[in-house]
Amino acid sequence: MAVPDSPTANSLGRLPIPIWAGPGVFITVALAVLVFFWWFLSSPAAGPENQALQEKTLREQLAPVGKMLVTKAGAQVNTANVSVDGEAVYQSACAVCHATGIAGAPQLGDQDLWRGRVAAGPQALYGNAINGFQGATGIMPPRGGNAALGEAQVRAAVDYMLAALE
């Protein structure tokens, strides 16, 4: 049985495609790509004026937290002049929880949350930070979950957080 011809179907039953459809689709896609690149390249972050700021931020993010002192075995080391940047340790290890309050961590600068902990004294805070803590108020993993941190670094980070309360 033959199918009657209609203006929308050819003899094979498919819709006719106008001759201009291919170039029309190509021009539409090309314009979309051009508009995207124009928008992307004109954004403020891509300009040369912000490149110095981006490089500075990247250098700060990649900066080491501490320095290593290598000596001979059995040698006496003068650690009096070695200082640890508590803020850098806080940013690299502690801020993950203490900036948002994850697992019951008291947020940096929140005096209400820190009041009971500060009342226990700094030695108790050092001990909890170094050895870890698990209680009704939350969980503190040993050394903030970074086993590579030394005691001096953990103490410096605790001192930094306590200084933020003042």
Model confidence pLDDT, tens digit, residues 119-133: 888 898 888 888 988
Residue that has been written with the tokens 């004294």 in this structure: 121
**Mean of pLDDT values over 141-156:** 85
Cα distance between residue 166 and residue 157, in whole Å: 15
pLDDT at 7: 53
pLDDT at 82: 59
Cα distance between residue 50 and residue 41, in whole Å: 13
Instruction: Please indicate whether residue 32 or residue 93 has the higher confidence score (pLDDT).
Output: 32
At 42-55, the pLDDT tens digits run 766 655 667 777 77
Q: How confident is the model at residue 4 (pLDDT cuts 50, 70, 90)?
A: low
pLDDT at 70: 74
Q: What percent of the chain has pLDDT over 90?
A: 7
**Mean of pLDDT values over 26-40:** 92
Instruction: Please indicate whether residue 20 or residue 50 has the higher confidence score (pLDDT).
Output: 20
CB atoms within 10 A of CB 101: 14
pLDDT at 18: 85
Beta strands in 99-151 (DSSP E): 133-135, 138-140
Domains along the sequence of the chain with CATH: 86-163 (1.10.760.10)
pLDDT at 26: 93
Q: What is the pTM of this model?
A: 0.52
Instruction: Check whether 164 has a pLDDT greater than 80.
Output: yes
- In the chain the first and final C-alpha atoms are separated, in Å, by 92
Decide: 140 and 52 in contact? Cβ < 8 Å.
no
Lowest mean pLDDT among 77-81, 116-120, 139-143: 77-81
